[in-house]
Structure 1
């Protein structure tokens, strides 16, 4: 049965979004008891590959056979359609959001009176970024402190064989600077359960949470932290967006929602949390205590190595009375994070094109773990331009720092078509001239293919048409039919009885 495309809508909570997905046939309830250990991952994986619905496991079960009374929601953003709905957009609406993000990152002054009116939505968006503080919040209908703040009360998933403990996979980790309470970061860092009231916080050095933790460490203090499990889709998606440095994800969620974010004071730490959250874990990340984390299955399709990371001690758990637990798994694409990465690709393009106007299009294939390979098409005007663009891209956004391979092509090549890209490499690339290798650069810490952790090489392939001093040979002319003939064949195609559409 084909469902109608919903109008643009904004959702005040994760449950409101889940209810709408169910109403439109995009959520499936699983009443059968399913083990948290591995079974949910395997069901989720199969549904992901079929681009199936979100999954609400009503009776998640731990290894002892105990059935949790808290349901587990997975695959909520497993398709582009649901990601767009989560942003409050109609299907196909990501380009408009990309333009808004671009203007917020690099605003342009109005050119005339009409331009002032055109920019009014942007001004309203900026106003929506200021959060509103509330005293009574759904996320604090039930509060567990002391021994009651026990992680075993939550249906925390175990994703892959060989992993040492259950893993929180969809946490929004909220941290702040010790000096500036407005310097707030929301990051998604997986968290290994170390005990009923302890977790390992796995963040990498370049991430905002690690930056804040270092500030608290220098003061010799444990860092207060709040961890949100499940929130409205605008807040969840803001946490994975390419926002400008210093822009709060909680504030920007108000832009996506079209309404100011509501926040409330945490019950045991000096932090603010989304009032509409499902579950909030509160506590402190130790300035000194670490524990071995892993191995866990990762987005690379491999298990990562075991490393020491800081330990978080719980002081409280607060939740909605009817809370649902949000979870996912990471693995070789396709997985839910790779689907989110595909959507983020559409948000990157306008940002990149504003900084580098000669770029025609850009693609980060999900098969390359979302960001490790890139294909870029450029409007080439001078010799060496492809190399300049490669070097600029590696420095432009934090995400591109870890791109290992860039293939540059001409605008006549569809960057999203591997047959087109391979044809360009086969006919416009020469290894002795068009290969650029950059050694000893920052690389994804999780990439064990690099010779050193966090340090490795980058490769640029120039598959553009060569001009000027780039070649001494006469360059070939691309085959193509004349427009007159293609128009004539288009006009007669239906009468030929060959079926399909004319190309």
Structure 2
């Protein structure tokens, strides 16, 4: 099911009725951002959007909402577009277990066709535009940024492939937000302690598996490319960036190479974020671009962010849920499934097989100390194994009849959270809470839960019959 590049995936979407092409003239602002917001508003089965007649640009194309629905996400995994999200979760988790899959190195990358070493102007290369009304400027927000550990540059696993918001500040200058907890933040700290700039390569517009994996909270020495191979079921193709020597996706539309300038900080933002609020302006590092390589007339893929749900939420739903599931299951085999799809896991729902009274609370607290949970998992709801954490009706049922406000709340004061959480005060600090909505078992003796209504005989058979009628 591996897709060679973005164009290959867009063709697969079109074959499955999940691509909408727009050839009538559109303005970069507000039309492109408005279209991406609109498709998320009107349907949860939305197609990708491809624009090829953008005012002010010749031959420019922009793609939005590429993985902005569960059908598109299923097609990314090579599954039927009508695959339920819970089935996608368990298939994603199954493929995770195949990690690592060695990469395939190639030297014939299509982005090598055109190169620029001087006269670089990113506004000529891409149809850049602001997504939301009060964004401070144009952003590149779905590119993968590659950096290396300055103390161990030959360690392939420590080469980071991540997604960070990138503000276009000038024709060849970018702003980037590398949080100290991010791998690139660690790389930058090491470089600046040496008094050195940090080389980076930015691969723009890629097939969706690498952008999905680049947003996953992997361990520091786990290779995103080897995980991408596991998720797509075959070795991931990479090529060598000519200036920095970074390993970048073979099928990218464009590769920008440069360096983060040591010790320099400039105001970056405001920017409309995944929290549904503007982030404000903060002093952040800048990147100077020294070389650009690209295909002729590259497609510019952009990611809309704003009030959930948008493509951001579909893209980061399972790649957040599955790592939490894998990490928790190592400590607690009783964990059945994890739904951390809400605002990148600021809220998570965990289903468990109870071992003893209070067990659900222990699992919820452990989620907060996973690598991702340290910055997220502000609210954790724990439910029984019989409750589908991806079915909000069932979760709300468990909260309404299993949860007892006196006994089932655990609050952790002044815990860490990502600074973008608008409720944190000061930014980066918040109280966290576990809601235990599991059935009380010994030694907890309370409530009246002995007479659960189960489903009639034959229900599963009729589920399959009705599914067949619907398709």
Q: So what's the TM-score if we normalise by structure 2?
A: 0.88
- Report how far residue 449 of structure 1 moved: 0.8
Structure 2 counterpart of 1:407, from 381, 397, 400: 381
Q: Hey, what's the Cα distance between the residues in 2 that align with 1:257 and 1:411?
A: 29
Structure 1 match to 2:15:
23
8 Å contact from structure 2 (residues 217, 320) kept in 1? no
Matches within 5 A, 1:308-347: 308-344=283-319, 347=322
RMSD of aligned residue pairs (Cα, Å): 2.6
Q: Hey, what's the Cα distance between the residues in 2 that align with 1:429 and 1:234?
A: 38
8 Å contact from structure 2 (residues 328, 366) kept in 1? no
Structure 2 match to 1:467:
441
Structure 1 match to 2:331:
355
The answer to whether residue 45 in structure 2 is matched with residue 69 in structure 1 is no
Q: Hey, what's the Cα distance between the residues in 2 that align with 1:25 and 1:360?
A: 34
Q: Hey, what's the Cα distance between the residues in 2 that align with 1:152 and 1:165?
A: 16
Structure 1 match to 2:430:
456
Q: Hey, what's the Cα distance between the residues in 1 that align with 2:388 and 2:8?
A: 39
- Report how far residue 139 of structure 1 moved: 0.8
The answer to whether residue 419 in structure 2 is matched with residue 445 in structure 1 is yes
SS of corresponding position for 1:67: coil
Structure 2 match to 1:140:
112
The answer to whether residue 161 in structure 2 is matched with residue 194 in structure 1 is no
Structure 1 pair 470/146, CA: closer, same or farther in 2 (3 Å)?
Answer: same
Q: Hey, what's the Cα distance between the residues in 2 that align with 1:231 and 1:186?
A: 13
Q: Residues 214-263 of structure 1, C-alpha deviation per residue, up to 9 Å, x if partnerless? A: 11111101111110111233322221234343122123333344443333
SS of corresponding position for 1:298: coil
8 Å contact from structure 1 (residues 102, 351) kept in 2? no
- Report how far residue 422 of structure 1 moved: 3.4
Q: So what's the TM-score if we normalise by structure 1?
A: 0.83
Structure 1 pair 489/434, CA: closer, same or farther in 2 (3 Å)?
Answer: closer
Q: Residues 403-458 of structure 1, C-alpha deviation per residue, up to 9 Å, x if partnerless? A: 11112222333333444333333333333322211012111210121111112110
Unaligned runs of 5+ in 1: 1-8, 105-125, 493-500
Q: Hey, what's the Cα distance between the residues in 2 that align with 1:489 and 1:204?
A: 49
8 Å contact from structure 1 (residues 297, 303) kept in 2? yes
Structure 1 pair 463/60, CA: closer, same or farther in 2 (3 Å)?
Answer: same
Structure 1 match to 2:466:
none
Matches within 5 A, 1:425-436: 425-436=399-410
Q: Hey, what's the Cα distance between the residues in 2 that align with 1:132 and 1:379?
A: 44
For this pair of structures, how many residues does the alignment match?
A: 452
Structure 1 counterpart of 2:225, from 250, 257, 265: 250
Q: Residues 287-327 of structure 1, C-alpha deviation per residue, up to 9 Å, x if partnerless? A: 11111011110111111121010000110111012421111
Structure 2 match to 1:364:
340
8 Å contact from structure 1 (residues 131, 251) kept in 2? no
The answer to whether residue 11 in structure 2 is matched with residue 35 in structure 1 is no
Rg (Cα) greater in structure: 1
SS of corresponding position for 2:411: strand
8 Å contact from structure 2 (residues 318, 341) kept in 1? no
The answer to whether residue 117 in structure 2 is matched with residue 130 in structure 1 is no
> Greater shift after overlay, 409-418 or 385-394?
409-418
Structure 1 pair 262/344, CA: closer, same or farther in 2 (3 Å)?
Answer: closer
SS of corresponding position for 2:119: helix
Structure 1 pair 220/379, CA: closer, same or farther in 2 (3 Å)?
Answer: same
Q: Residues 352-411 of structure 1, C-alpha deviation per residue, up to 9 Å, x if partnerless? A: 334311223332243xx1311122222223222122111211123424641111122223
Structure 2 counterpart of 1:206, from 181, 192, 216: 181
Structure 2 match to 1:120:
none
Q: Residues 313-350 of structure 1, C-alpha deviation per residue, up to 9 Å, x if partnerless? A: 11011101242111121011110010123333663435
Structure 2 match to 1:177:
149
8 Å contact from structure 2 (residues 59, 297) kept in 1? no
Q: Hey, what's the Cα distance between the residues in 2 that align with 1:395 and 1:152?
A: 45
Q: Hey, what's the Cα distance between the residues in 2 that align with 1:193 and 1:347?
A: 32
Q: Hey, what's the Cα distance between the residues in 2 that align with 1:458 and 1:431?
A: 16
8 Å contact from structure 1 (residues 230, 278) kept in 2? yes
Matches within 5 A, 1:475-490: 475-480=447-452, 486-487=456-457
Structure 2 match to 1:57:
51
Q: Hey, what's the Cα distance between the residues in 1 that align with 2:404 and 2:282?
A: 41
Q: Hey, what's the Cα distance between the residues in 2 that align with 1:488 and 1:449?
A: 47
